[in-house]
Amino acid sequence: MADTTTSAPRAHHGGGLNLRFWLPLTWLGLLILAALFAPWIAPHDPLAQDLLLERLPPFFLPGTEAGYWLGTDSLGRDVLSRMIYGARIALFVSLIAAVTTCVFGSALGLLAGFYGGWCDRVISRLVDIWMAFPPVLFAVLLVAVMGTGLTSVIAAIALIDWTRFARVVRAETLGQTRMDYVDSARIGGAQRLSTLLTEILPNVLPTIVALLTLEMGIAIIVEAILSFVNLSISTDDPTWGSMIAEGRNAIHFAWWVLLFPLIALFLSVLSFSVLGEGLKQRFDPVLQ
């Protein structure tokens, strides 16, 4: 009877974990495949204009035309094709910007939490000063100064969000340095840098992975905001933010131009957030 009682919660926990892990992973996997194979999947050229086909409704509404599954915008461009090519830009920016931010911020957080002293004080003061700037306004200012383009967008995201990694990783590292296994490594004669990389980093890594996936969602939002105000890439290139900006002006006539990229943006950000929590639960040695 005791074995039956204790095994039931474990099975339930594992099932919930699998659901939280696989649902966002499925959406992100489909999004990645669509971005990689966009030239073969997209039914039309995302830049092709045809004013005779302007504001066609999606396939489930009357007045649609075959081949335009999610309708067209005010210039007759296919909404589905523009969303697929927009996923390319969103995923590219999120990956490069998040990894850059993760590496820089996590390295500073590890150093501050492990070595302490003047190193911790300098990094902590730098984080406090950096966080005094409003992040979105700071990103807009940086892109306006550096000029539009993907490089400027990625640099802006990395410069405004590294503090998130530095603060969280520092706190996690401080907690790990007080553990008995760190004292055992020191007593055994391990060098400090070796202790940091081989003992502490593996235990902090689940938190870093969770933050990384969350940062990828944040990067997608920031890129969409910058595209919304025409501070990302060329306005001719399809991005979710520019599609949302265009759809806002035609919401009473062609609501699908706004709704579908907005749904894609929401599901992508939500999936990255949920996936991060699922990965932390799956690989965190404390939770295991």
Separation between Cα atoms, residue 62 and residue 65, nearest integer Å = 9
Task: With respect to residue 65, please indicate whether it lies within any of the assigned structural domains.
Answer: no
Task: With respect to residue 288, please indicate whether it lies within any of the assigned structural domains.
Answer: no
Q: Average pLDDT of 70-95?
A: 93
CB 261 within 8 A of CB 247: yes
Give me the pLDDT at residue 2, please. 42
**Tally of domains within the chain:** 1
Q: What percent of the chain has pLDDT over 90?
A: 39
Q: What range defines the domain where residue 256 resides?
A: 2-37+78-283
Coil, strand or helix at 6: helix
Tokens matching residue 183? 């004292």
Task: With respect to residue 58, please indicate whether it lies within any of the assigned structural domains.
Answer: no
Task: With respect to residue 43, please indicate whether it lies within any of the assigned structural domains.
Answer: no
Task: With respect to residue 72, please indicate whether it lies within any of the assigned structural domains.
Answer: no
H or E, element range at 86: helix 79-115
Distance of alpha carbon 61 from the chain centroid = 33
Separation between Cα atoms, residue 148 and residue 89, nearest integer Å = 14
Task: With respect to residue 68, please indicate whether it lies within any of the assigned structural domains.
Answer: no
Task: With respect to residue 57, please indicate whether it lies within any of the assigned structural domains.
Answer: no
Q: Average pLDDT of 41-56?
A: 90
- Range name among 63-67, 99-103, 213-217 with the lowest pLDDT average: 63-67
Task: With respect to residue 51, please indicate whether it lies within any of the assigned structural domains.
Answer: no
Task: Output 279 or 11, whichever has higher pLDDT.
Answer: 279
What are the tens digits of pLDDT across the range 5-42? 444 444 444 444 577 778 888 999 999 999 999 999 99
CATH code assigned at 106: 1.10.3720.10
* Backbone phi, psi, residue 78, to 5°: -70, 125
Tokens matching residue 202? 């593996």
Distance of alpha carbon 288 from the chain centroid = 26
Helix %, strand %, coil % of the chain (to 5): 75, 0, 25
Coil, strand or helix at 254: coil
Whole-model pTM: value is 0.84
H or E, element range at 146: helix 135-146
The residue assigned the tokens 């094709």 is: 81
Tokens matching residue 125? 């003061």
Separation between Cα atoms, residue 196 and residue 108, nearest integer Å = 13
Q: Is 196 exposed, middle or buried (0-12, 13-18, 19+ CB in 10 A)?
A: buried
